[in-house]
Amino acid sequence: MSDRKPLMPKATAVWLVDNTALTFDQIADLCGLHPLEVKGIADGDVAQGIKGMDPVSSGQLTRDEIERGEADSSHKLRMAEQKVILPQTSTRKKRPRYTPVSRRHDRPNAVLWLLRQHPELKDSQIIRLVGTTKPTITQIRDRTHWNSPNLVPQDPVTLGLCKQVDLDAEVQKAAKRVEANRPPGAPMPGGGLLPASETVPGLGPQPDFEPVRGQSEAEEEAEVFASLQKLSSGQDADASGDQPDVEFPEFSNDDDDQPEVSFAAGNVAGETADEAAPGESAEGEEEGEVPAEDYGLSAYVDAADAGVVEAIVKFCGIALRSTDASLVSCSSKDELARVRDSFMKKKLALELDDETLDAAIAEVCERMKDTRRKHRVVFYYLLAEKFEMLEALKG
């Protein structure tokens, strides 16, 4: 059986169904159709309006061949010999990849991504992947594209412009070409990550650098305390180089009667002249002396130990600079847990269970319930006093 088929398969099948007694299988095999499609033509469901074409008059099939097929249902029809040999049509050249209109504005971003991530790709390979043109690739590479400032590298696979399999195939092809054209002994072109032997200490030579020495805990505490002294006193050290003594003003227990802080003449006044603490003369204040600051501790303790207050200030450090950090919130479970773990367990070294420590914290909160602004120094002082750890703090 010849591989040739009629020039008009369906029109030939229509004529054979109407004018011969051939079986559906014979007609289907000759015209390259499915037997059910030929049966549909016979029933009038397929090829409606198609005019039948006589294969005998066109020289494609002989009458004798049709008669042999009608006599034997198993006979396969053969096309007649061609009197004129038609030239073989060349295969159609493959067109560039079609890109949907909705994604065409993403092609410059994909081209920029390919140029940055895979500079070894040829322009022809980029054209095959994303369906762009060579002038566009040149403009994007030279940054002369009209939209260069707004271009963002994007993976063409993520954008749906090509398949990952196609991208991998083009990259592998380009890598083989670069490897084949590379002179023997020449390094691979392009930069990359340094090997581990050059980056991991001990595996290779490392760049010279000077290590930065960190401050010790004692140095940090001394620096913070010196800053607090300057903030509270506002006075510079005298010619001998000694730091000025820190004197703490007294605060009233009533929140509404909190004294205003004045920075006049570089001094911090914790209270007005009319509300000066007992035992301090007006003459002393006129001479520039700063009232002793106890953060409102005098409302709970008759005679606060200045050494303990100083130790607590050192422990709190830079936290006292912030208004929020300098106060203790009894309604915050996290805050109370930090007080228990940081101050009571670490600083006071109390080896009691959490329930006992939490009960002590609750007792101090109850004692200071009339004060909305519970200062951290006062809170820690009362806790240390409850456990008789004032002397230990001073030491």
3-class DSSP assignment, residue 6: coil
> What is the structure's pLDDT at 147?
92
Tell me which of 2.10.70.10, 1.10.10.10, 3.40.640.10, 1.10.238.120 is the CATH number of domain 298-394: 1.10.238.120
| Furthest C-alpha separation in the chain | 143
What residue segments make up the domains of the chain, in order of their start? 9-71, 101-178, 222-293, 298-394
> What is the structure's pLDDT at 317?
85
Return the closest-CA partner of residue 111 out of 98, 128, 130. 130
| Start-end of H helices in 87-147 | 107-117, 123-130, 134-141
> What is the structure's pLDDT at 261?
42
Sign, CA dihedral 334-339-344-347, equals positive
CA 238 to chain centre: 54
**Residues of the chain falling short of pLDDT 50:** 1, 209, 235-244, 246, 248-249, 251-292
> What is the structure's pLDDT at 125?
93
Phi-psi region of 191 (alpha: psi -120 to 50; beta: other; left: phi over 0): beta
Distance of alpha carbon 394 from alpha carbon 222, whole angstroms: 16
> What is the structure's pLDDT at 167?
92
Inter-residue contact 289 to 374 (CB < 8 Å): no
